[in-house]
Structure 1
């Protein structure tokens, strides 16, 4: 598979491998910041990122609830092999639950960071609006 030419652009909400080829909604990830490392996002992209990270966290919460069945697996019989298999399965279930809890925490943290960025965006917009409104009206 060859790589497409040009700078890759993330399109929030769009999965090119999905059966559904709906056009993306929201903004686009990142115009590189000329002053240094980082990216700047438009407001629509920030909203989409909050939604995507929040939705992913919800999916992991669902998976965590489903993983409980693995973590409490009981042996199907009373023999040694069944008991040993169930113990190993429960250990795997516990590890899965732990990994899912970390993923939930990470996703919620990312959503919070984008919410904070939205707050800064709104504050900057309010400040710009105040400065513009303080300008005298008309042509001087």
Structure 2
């Protein structure tokens, strides 16, 4: 069975086939936000990305329930053909279970990366606030 090379690539942006008929703007998958401290997404976008990766992991987990049914398929009869068919079906199901587990791990890993980025974002924001508050008040 052919396995796609590399990891799935997430490319945020407008999907013309989606329910939403207008592309989002201003940071949340729209116009780029100003970069600073190494960040390329604003805080709201980071929260959206965490939610999307977690939702995708949940979808894969739901698919895993059906994949396990395939992986444990039993032959419908006691003749040779049924047994061989079930064996091939189980192999396919096992490959599907393995692929889904890889995708679940990947999605959870991506969500965790964005959670980590949110922590760094908050730290950078806190540092910037401290620096600004230390500036002398009024006109110099």
Q: In the alignment, is residue 92 of structure 1 matched against residue 92 of structure 2? A: yes
Q: In the alignment, is residue 46 of structure 1 matched against residue 46 of structure 2? A: yes
- What is the TM-score of this pair, normalised by structure 1? 0.79
RMSD: 2.6
CA contact (8 A) 2:57 2:108 kept: yes
How many residues of Structure 1 are paired with residues of Structure 2 in the alignment? 126
Provide the rounded CA distance (Å) in 1 between the counterparts of 2:51 and 2:119: 15
Structure 1 partner of 2:60: 60
Cα deviation, residue 134, structure 1: 1.1
Ranges of 4+ aligned residues in structure 1 off by more than 6 Å? none
- Structure 2: any 5+ residue segments left out of the alignment? 1-10
Q: How does 1:1-140 map to 2 (within 5 A)?
A: 10-11=12-13, 14-18=14-18, 20-23=19-22, 24=24, 27-28=28-29, 31=32, 40-140=40-140
- Structure 1: any 5+ residue segments left out of the alignment? 1-8
Greater RCO structure (CA 8 Å; 6+ sep): 2
SS at match of 1:101: helix
CA contact (8 A) 1:30 1:39 kept: no
CA contact (8 A) 2:33 2:41 kept: no
